[in-house]
Amino acid sequence: MLLAMDIGNTNVKIGVFDGDNIVASWRMSTKAKRTADEYGMVLYDLLKQQGVSFKDIKHAVMSSVAPALNYTLEHMCGYYIGIKPLCISHTLDTGISIDYDHPSELGADRIVGAAAAYHFYGGPVIEVDFGSATTFNLVAADGRFMGGAIAPGIMTATESLAAATAKLPRIELSAPENVVGRNTRACMQSGIIFGYTGLVKYMLEKYRALPEMRCAKVVATGGLSEIVANTEPNLFDVVDRAIALKGLKYIYDRNR
């Protein structure tokens, strides 16, 4: 079995593969102060619920945008499972070529998302990942990663708005009934949900005007992707929230 770990700024996504099938997947909060033992015990309990033990795990792969956790989770894998995970970077064979000014600066999450979107859905493709940041990743038909854009994530912007103002509350992330809010919460929901949907729609229009991106598929992923998809149903061709884990498995297989 293969253990796949996607370490984000907000959550650590974990999946276990038996061959090409995902046996189970989980999310746990990203906490830099957690020790390798704490992550190991949580993982032990999660695996046990699915009838899987550490000895069943023979391989591991991880991508990370939280450097403070890299050693912790690598040490967990070594101590509890007895294996060293393959860590995603621009130097691996990902199935795409990276046409980026400084490839070493490209986040592992963007590499995995772009490679997975191209492999599973073909190119040209635009992958939009709704996480702590909202990222746009473009891959041309020939498998060339062209770059994209990074914007604050929906939740990040919402939390920042509440934290930076004295009277604005934290709100539920759901679309209001009307774009014109009649109370503070509805106004905030309108600005965040409809505003971010407009941001995504505008960016996609600009990208699809590029010669390399004509007829590009748009693949959305991330925990908040469905909010935007429900607000603007025809914006995405595919919503695939498991693309990160599937991408880790795909890249691992190419580099095994």
pLDDT tens digits, one per residue of 44-88 = 999 999 999 999 999 999 999 999 999 999 999 999 999 999 999
Backbone conformation region of residue 148, classed left if phi is above 0, alpha if psi is from -120 to 50, else beta: left
Cβ atoms < 10 Å from Cβ of 168: 15
Per-residue pLDDT averaged across 213-225, rounded?
Answer: 94
- Which of 6, 109, 129, 240 is catalytic? The answer is 109
Binned at pLDDT 50, 70 and 90, residue 209 comes out as very high
Per DSSP, 243 falls in state H
Where does 19-114 show beta strands of DSSP type E?
Answer: 21-29, 59-64, 86-87, 97-98
pLDDT digits (tens, 9 = 90+) for 95-139: 999 999 999 999 999 999 999 999 999 999 999 999 999 999 999
Q: Could you give the CA distance from residue 170 to residue 72 in angstroms, rounded to a whole number?
A: 32
Binned at pLDDT 50, 70 and 90, residue 203 comes out as very high
| Residue 117 exposed, middle or buried by CB count within 10 Å (0-12, 13-18, 19+) | buried
Q: Could you give the CA distance from residue 10 to residue 33 in angstroms, rounded to a whole number?
A: 14
What confidence score (pLDDT) does residue 133 get?
94
Whether 177 shows a pLDDT value over 90: the answer reads no
What confidence score (pLDDT) does residue 173 get?
87
What confidence score (pLDDT) does residue 16 get?
97
Q: Could you give the CA distance from residue 223 to residue 226 in angstroms, rounded to a whole number?
A: 7
Average pLDDT, the chain: 95
Binned at pLDDT 50, 70 and 90, residue 256 comes out as confident
Residue 109 appears among annotated catalytic residues: yes
The residue behind tokens 């600066």 is 105
Q: Could you give the CA distance from residue 139 to residue 122 in angstroms, rounded to a whole number?
A: 9
Whether 176 shows a pLDDT value over 90: the answer reads no
The amino acid at 91: T
What confidence score (pLDDT) does residue 69 get?
93
Nearest to 158 by CA among 224, 89, 245: 224
